Amino acid sequence: MLLIKNGRVLDPATKTDSARDLLLDGERIAEIAATGKIAHANGAQVFDATGLIVAPGFIDMHAHLREPGQENSETIETGSHAAARGGFTAICCMPNTKPVNDNASITRFIVDRAKAFGHVRVWPIGAASVASKGEAIADIAAMRDAGIIAVSDDGKPIATAKLARQIMDYCRSLDLPVIEHAEDVSLAAGAVMREGIASTRLGLPGMPAAAESVCVARDVQVAELTGARLHIAHLSAKSSLAQVRFAKQHGIRVTCEVTPHHFTLIDEDVTYDSRFKMNPPLAAREDREALIEGLADSTVDAIATDHAPHEPAIKDVEFDKAPFGILGFETAIGLALEQLVHTNRIPLMRMVELFTTGPARVLGKERKLALGEPADLTIFSLDRSWTYSVSDSASKSRNSPFDGHTFQGGPAATIVAGKIVYKH
């Protein structure tokens, strides 16, 4: 048994924001009571959460763990370790491994590796099309039986509207969300950052915001046609957000996520340093402003990191040759506090919702602090000053633009199934 004492418990699902103690018994929550009121905790290990926030376990619904196939960049073990250090209790891994997770045997491999070596829960996402090539629909039902919680061709969009229709039709019958990496590849071809004054100044080829929002518009209409659950990954453009807002107002089942780097940085921050290269690229100032408004007004459903490790040998090269993507797990809470909460743009409860009930709802799951619920908790500080040093990261990769950044507040402890998997 584990007794979490003296914390400020924040739970969007039960609308709790008060001083509470929690008793965890094995893998479940056994009791929640006012501070000092839990009677039968004799012999329990005690965690003193004085001055800390105690929240339901944070979920990161968008990550790349690189196993199988690119274990020099990350493994399920190292990636989930970094996730635990970032305060995440569950992470969803995208299928663009080598080979692609497009069949039940790869899904089972990931599930088994995660059981044996995972520091946190790992929920695989299966490919939407075979090898994510955009030609034939993958064996989604078999992967669902093996443990996937959604499908995506992430890294690229579902190739055509016709295939998107087939996949959404199929996933509607299975009640699985379809996660779209929204990109019109003809508009994005050759680009390495967002098109604008910054790209002109740097002399780097850029893609317009429409490279994303044209695809979002296509998929919103296919979602309306099919009635499927569509989720837009790493939404970065104001024009895409307008499509999602329209869809929600019209009862179309569309949700979306925003990454910490897109609500923190903009195209003007890009230098020739490949740690600023990701897809979708850092957007314009007005896009960032719109994303923060969307995070505040519930147009955005989740914060997701798009944790995308690349080993230095392939990432530390010229900007235009480097692969897209940056690390995300360990800086997510720090950035959300810095950019959203400490600036009074969104309430702390809303931030917790974006990491818990928000992504849970997208995935058709529940997340709450109540008797009998899984003992998954994220405990974090609002004010501890700490400096992120990527050389200390649990990830195998080092590609973070936030190396050396000092944060006010961050993860204090991560508890999965009643076990402390990370403690500051």
Give the Cα-Cα-Cα angle 349, 351, 356 (nearest 5 degrees). Answer: 90
- Residue 27 CA to residue 333 CA, distance in Å, equals 24
Q: Is 306 tagged catalytic?
A: yes
121: which strand partners? Answer: 90
How many residues form the binding site for Zn ion (CB under 5 A)? 2
Nearer to Zn ion, 154 or 301 (CB): 154
Nearer to Zn ion, 154 or 376 (CB): 154
Least distance in angstroms from the C-beta of 233 to Zn ion = 5
Stretch of 49-57, 83-91, 150-158, 414-422 lying at the interface with Zn ion (CB under 5 A):
150-158
Does 310 help bind Zn ion (rule: CB under 5 A)?
no
Two structure tokens written together for 99: 């080979």
Nearer to Zn ion, 11 or 306 (CB): 306
Number of residues that make up the chain: 424
Nearer to Zn ion, 56 or 328 (CB): 328
- Neighbouring C-alpha atoms within 13 Å toward the C-beta of 420: 15
Least distance in angstroms from the C-beta of 406 to Zn ion = 29
SS3 content of the chain, % helix, strand, coil (to 5): 35, 25, 40
Q: In what order do the strands lie in the sheet with 88-93?
A: 58-63, 88-93, 121-124
Task: Please pick, among 102, 267, 306, 376, the residue that the annotation labels catalytic.
Answer: 306
Nearer to Zn ion, 236 or 243 (CB): 236
Least distance in angstroms from the C-beta of 118 to Zn ion = 22
Residue at shortest CB range from Zn ion: 181
Does 181 help bind Zn ion (rule: CB under 5 A)?
yes
Close Cβ partners of 281 (under 8 Å, ≥ 6 residues apart): 191, 192, 193, 194, 206, 207, 236, 267, 270
Q: What residues numbered 341-360 form the site for Zn ion, per CB under 5 A? A: none
Stretch of 122-130, 147-155, 196-204, 287-295 lying at the interface with Zn ion (CB under 5 A):
147-155
Least distance in angstroms from the C-beta of 280 to Zn ion = 8
Of 11, 60, 154, 180, the residue at the interface with Zn ion (CB under 5 A) is 154
Least distance in angstroms from the C-beta of 179 to Zn ion = 9
Burial class (CB in 10 A: 0-12, 13-18, 19+), 385: exposed
Close Cβ partners of 298 (under 8 Å, ≥ 6 residues apart): none
- Residue 43 CA to residue 3 CA, distance in Å, equals 10
Stretch of 81-89, 98-106, 177-185, 326-334 lying at the interface with Zn ion (CB under 5 A):
177-185
Catalytic residue positions, numbered: 306
- The contact set with Zn ion (CB under 5 A) reads 154, 181
